[in-house]
Amino acid sequence: MSKDKGDVLAAFRAIAGRYDLMNTLCSFGAERSWRQKAVAALDCGKEMRILDLCAGTMTVSADVVHAAAGVRVSAVDFCAEMLQVGAGRLKRDEILSIDRICAEGEKIPLRSGTHDRAIATYGVRNLYDPAAGMREVFRVLKPGGRFVILEFTRPTGKLFAPLYRFYTARIMPVIGGIVAGSRGAYDYLSRSIGDFMEPARLMEMMEAAGFRQARLERHTCGIVGIYTALKPSEVS
């Protein structure tokens, strides 16, 4: 699905204030558990530097701060309003440990080889050039660094899959219109889930960017997947 950067940015600006609430409502509370599993997959160590790509309202950044002592997070998102909303909800220790960076994921303004881990939650499918985003994460990571992606996948079960498609295509936009005041934004988000590349293609893209040992772990009947991959310790 081709994307217009301006349209995607406008969608996230429209829902910034209710984004976290909508995540909770639309996932029936499961979203918090998915985030926790993704952060656990990062395997953070003491005083590591972590890149949170497509950080949004920085809920994941805050989770990462508490994953290990002395962690420093670079929270990168192209929507300033999302970062601003999130900053207003952070606790003091979280504010001191998170650097907010408003920038596109395809052009991350961080030096090469400076971060130990990277995570992207529900954001890769919103990049206008996911392959470029993968290459940027690879560049920013130190050799041996780990990259974790939490992203929606599509269930394949004969009974559950059509119910899920109906829910995301028809019900979720209605909830978005009522709660977040923007049905159009959730029409887009619903389409972005349905049109996103298959998991095998995403892992191929990670490998093409230079990552190795790309793996996928599905959760909640295949609604979401946690992808992990490593930057080789020795990069040619």
Query: Taking the domains of the chain in order of start, what are their residue ranges?
Result: 5-155+198-230
The predicted pLDDT at position 92 comes to 93
Which residues lie below 8 Å from residue 115, measured CB to CB, with a gap of 6+? Answer: 49, 50, 51, 74, 140, 141, 142, 145
Q: Is the pLDDT reported for residue 213 higher than 70?
A: yes
Name the token pair of 209.
């960017």
Architecture of domain 5-155+198-230: 3-Layer(aba) Sandwich (3.40)
Which residues partner with 224 through β-bridges?
Answer: 152, 219
% of the chain exceeding 70 in pLDDT: 98
The predicted pLDDT at position 156 comes to 86
Residue 235 pLDDT level (bands cut at 50, 70, 90): low
- What is the rounded CA–CA span in Å between residue 133 and residue 236? 20
> Chain-wide mean pLDDT for the chain?
95
Q: Is the pLDDT reported for residue 236 higher than 80?
A: no
Contact 210, 133 (CB under 8 A): no
Residue 1 pLDDT level (bands cut at 50, 70, 90): very low
Contact 193, 119 (CB under 8 A): no
Q: Is the pLDDT reported for residue 26 higher than 60?
A: yes
Which residues lie below 8 Å from residue 128, measured CB to CB, with a gap of 6+? Answer: 3, 5, 8, 106
pLDDT average, residue stretch 111-122 = 98
The predicted pLDDT at position 5 comes to 85
Q: Is 51 helix (H, G, I), strand (E, B) or coil?
A: strand
Interval 50-71: pLDDT, tens = 999 999 999 999 999 999 999 9
Interval 145-195: pLDDT, tens = 999 999 999 998 888 999 999 999 999 999 999 999 999 999 999 999 999
Name the token pair of 80.
């300033």
